[in-house]
Amino acid sequence: MISSRPRPFRVSKNLEARRSSDNTAFWDHRKRVQDVIERMELEYDKALLTLHPLGISVSAALYNQMIGSNVKIHSVWLLHIAWIAWILGIITTLGSFRTSIFANRTALDEHDIGQQASDNAGTPNLLTTIFNWSSGILFIAGVVLSALFLSRKI
């Protein structure tokens, strides 16, 4: 089960000036945008955790069909690299969950001691971003590699 994992949000310098004002509409809109961002991050992670194993399953089934029908198989190494990319994508997605927890703890600790949220939440936030981007890139790499394998051109 995947739980919601909001990431710390950057606080711009312009936002600090608005904090002193009592503009309820501004803060309501900002809260809604934050909620949408959090939901989209969660949906992105869910999609990747579904698509990576799906890519492995579908390509393995097609590979088995090719073996069963005695099709001449070229460049099976492309398929193996695609599977490695998808497995690494799963690992990076799961890693982003862990680093996100650490980033949120850091943000909560800063909040509890009265510090303003920093523009850079530190290493955990940076790692979360890197893991999220890496997972998406690895998924696309796996798709391209398996498509090259199935095209039998190489």
Query: Mean pLDDT for each consecutive 10-residue tract of the chain (154 residues)?
Result: 48 54 73 80 86 91 88 88 94 89 78 66 83 94 92 64
At 1 the pLDDT is 37
Contacts 24+ apart (CB under 8 A), 17-24: none
At 58 the pLDDT is 92
User: b/e map of 105-131 (b: 16 or more CB within 10 Å)?
Assistant: ebbeebeeeeeeeeeebeebbebbbeb
Q: Is the torsion defined by CA of 37, 42, 47, 52 positive or negative?
A: positive
At 45 the pLDDT is 84
Prediction pTM value: 0.70
- CB-based contacts of 103: which residues, under 8 Å, 6+ apart? 7, 8, 121, 122, 124, 125, 128
At 132 the pLDDT is 92
